[in-house]
Structure 1
Amino acid sequence: MNAYIFPGQGAQFSGMGLDLYEKSAVAQELFELANNILGFNITDIMFEGSAEDLKQTKVTQPAIFLHSVILAKVLGSHFKPNMVAGHSLGEFSALVANGCMNFEDGLKLVSKRALAMQQACEMQPSTMAAVLGLDDAIVEQICADTAGIVVAANYNCPGQLVISGEIEAVDKACNALKEAGARRALVLPVGGAFHSPLMEPAREELAAAIEATTFSKPICPIYQNVTASAVTDEAAIKTNLISQLTAPVKWTQSVEQMITDGATLFTEVGPGKVLQGLVKKINRNAETASAVFETDAS
């Protein structure tokens, strides 16, 4: 069974999407539509901008979404998912690719999500840290025992968990994690505490937009970050998508469940190969690939 997986923030690179724009009339049309929807030429930044330009919150999330979704669209009949999943932001890409949302609505939600997250970050200084080499249960317990807000945020693969919360609480937890034997506990260069209770203002803002968006029956199940299980019901998908901003990304559990449910090939759709690396660390026998567009599907 074919599982298509969609990357999240951090996968961006200068020049992303240019090959699609140059090779496909369908891609050109969608990129130009995106420029109109966003109210600025995101294509200029994606194709020619610096790494610093691509780090802007209003750019990063829509850029990764566009690269992933447009690649899936130009694959045409070659895009045959039996199941999909996306890491954090990638869940929105997955939902457009599997027919649950249309392109325009997906892009509008991603843009709103990026701006809402930025505002939440500005309301309270916060951060995230990568923890390597400890069991999840130990990390969870140390977070629970640490004063202030700090929680497990991204279950990326066995032995790699990202924590998220208030700066002082994350620093304290990192010290305790190192004492407990973590190989590394490294604060990440991010703008805030994503997938933690500190994203509640963003969740509330995004919830209204998601509720007002029409969702359709997907062509295949999506394994959502919040549940790590196959979901096809539109109402449940909406509920899980709203919860996603303040809940952890259960990527390890999602991949394990997809394999249990019959996934034999994981194809990453979008920039980079980060998710393929995580899949291999979760199950080294899993087959992985990058989605590649060769000729004009229009």
Structure 2
Amino acid sequence: MSKVIMFSGQGRPVIGMGKTIADTTQKTKDIWDCATDLSGIDIRKIAFKGPMPKLIETTNQQVIVTAINLSMFSMLEELKDDTIYLGHSVGEFSALYASGALSLEDTIKAVVYRSQIMHKISCECKAGMYVVKDLSKNELANILSCSEFSEKLDICCDNVNHQVIGGEIKDLKPFCNELRCQGYEVAKLDVSGAWHTKIMSRGCDELYDALKEVTINKPKYSLVMNVSGKEENNPEQIKTLISKHLISTVEWKSSLETCREKGGREFLELGNKKTFNSTCESCFSPFSDWNYKHFNDLKWEV
């Protein structure tokens, strides 16, 4: 039986996030200091005090999410070699760090490069992302294909039972209104652009080039990646997938299924909020040999 460590991404920021963990230990203090120094952003001030528009901005939110994820990881007991790592969207960089593919400094650098590229593109058009609840990816794809927005919007994340759709607001809002009229629950995500959509296309090459400034190693531990939904261990392939990540669907359902195939039964989420409990339940409820916990469910001493 393997433990699966899952790192959450952005989209659910709250003022005060990370405050209880940022300087809990010397390790967490070092992580937040490193993220502050390499990003040039006072992430403690923005995370703890806002304002919300600054916290939502992806150049800030991605770095803050990463600092929280890595701080939680640093406080875990030593993990076994058969631990499996994965992260959702920007959370994937935390998984890269945990698996040994990236150093702390290169993890922060990569997140900063990614967030700056995404922010630059997002400033060129008004775009966003919405969660669509209680639909499979195929069901949402069928509804989208029959609409006038089929070539304009993209399914950003296959979150098992809750999908995420993104695109320009002028297309996204009327499509989401159609979904509401059909009885589906739709909610806006607190992000500043449409990630994992065709809008981000020109950012792929930019990110690939920027990643020349970081060293990607062969992971020491099992790493499952969003774009393929499979285990990856080739550094050049990892670099390619990170770059394609900007326009590709987060294949979270496939990723979780890969973890189970590899023996994953204990699922632990690291991140500001519980976001993966329902996705795990939707994937694994037919089985009785798995369990889910969030970092905040654990007890630790400092």
TM-score in terms of structure 2 length: 0.87
- 1:295 maps to a residue whose letter is E
What is the aligned partner in structure 1 of residue 221 from structure 2?
Answer: 220
1:102-135 Cα offsets, whole Å, 9 max, x none, are: 1111111112212211111111222223223334
Q: Is the 8 A contact 1:4 1:81 kept in 2?
A: no
> Matched residues, percent identical?
25
Change (3 A) 1:75 1:184: closer
Q: Classify the secondary structure of the residue corresponding to 1:152.
A: strand
- Aligned 1:202-281 pairs, distance under 5 A: 202-281=203-282
Distance between the aligned counterparts of 1:191 and 1:21, measured in 2? 24
RMSD over equivalenced CA pairs, Å: 2.4
Distance between the aligned counterparts of 1:80 and 1:289, measured in 2? 20
What is the aligned partner in structure 2 of residue 154 from structure 1?
Answer: 157
Aligned residues: 294
Distance between the aligned counterparts of 2:59 and 2:103, measured in 1? 20
- Aligned 1:184-203 pairs, distance under 5 A: 184-203=185-204
1:287 and 2:291 correspond = yes
- Aligned 1:123-142 pairs, distance under 5 A: 123-142=124-143
1:166 and 2:168 correspond = yes
Q: Classify the secondary structure of the residue corresponding to 1:264.
A: strand
Deviation at 1:12, TM superposition (A): 3.5
1:240-259 Cα offsets, whole Å, 9 max, x none, are: 11111100011112112211
- Structure with higher helix content: 1
Distance between the aligned counterparts of 1:277 and 1:168, measured in 2? 30
- 1:102 maps to a residue whose letter is S
Which 4+ runs in 1 deviate beyond 6 A?
A: none
Q: Is the 8 A contact 2:109 2:214 kept in 1?
A: no
Q: Is the 8 A contact 2:63 2:108 kept in 1?
A: yes
Q: Classify the secondary structure of the residue corresponding to 1:232.
A: coil
Q: Is the 8 A contact 2:6 2:95 kept in 1?
A: yes
> Unpaired segments of 5 or more residues in structure 1?
none
Distance between the aligned counterparts of 1:104 and 1:293, measured in 2? 28
What is the aligned partner in structure 1 of residue 62 from structure 2?
Answer: 61
Distance between the aligned counterparts of 2:34 and 2:178, measured in 1? 49
What is the aligned partner in structure 2 of residue 117 from structure 1?
Answer: 118
Distance between the aligned counterparts of 1:144 and 1:261, measured in 2? 34
Q: Is the 8 A contact 1:229 1:254 kept in 2?
A: yes
Deviation at 1:76, TM superposition (A): 5.1
Distance between the aligned counterparts of 2:113 and 2:222, measured in 1? 25
- Aligned 1:20-99 pairs, distance under 5 A: 20-75=21-76, 77-78=78-79, 82-99=83-100
TM-score in terms of structure 1 length: 0.88
Q: Classify the secondary structure of the residue corresponding to 2:128.
A: strand
Q: Is the 8 A contact 1:142 1:176 kept in 2?
A: no
Q: Classify the secondary structure of the residue corresponding to 1:173.
A: helix
- 1:157 maps to a residue whose letter is V
Distance between the aligned counterparts of 1:165 and 1:186, measured in 2? 14
1:182-201 Cα offsets, whole Å, 9 max, x none, are: 52345545422211110113
- 1:117 maps to a residue whose letter is M
Distance between the aligned counterparts of 1:189 and 1:14, measured in 2? 12
- 1:156 maps to a residue whose letter is N
Deviation at 1:277, TM superposition (A): 3.0
Distance between the aligned counterparts of 1:23 and 1:162, measured in 2? 34
- Greater CA drift, 217-226 or 277-286: 277-286
- 2:158 maps to a residue whose letter is Y
Change (3 A) 1:54 1:238: same
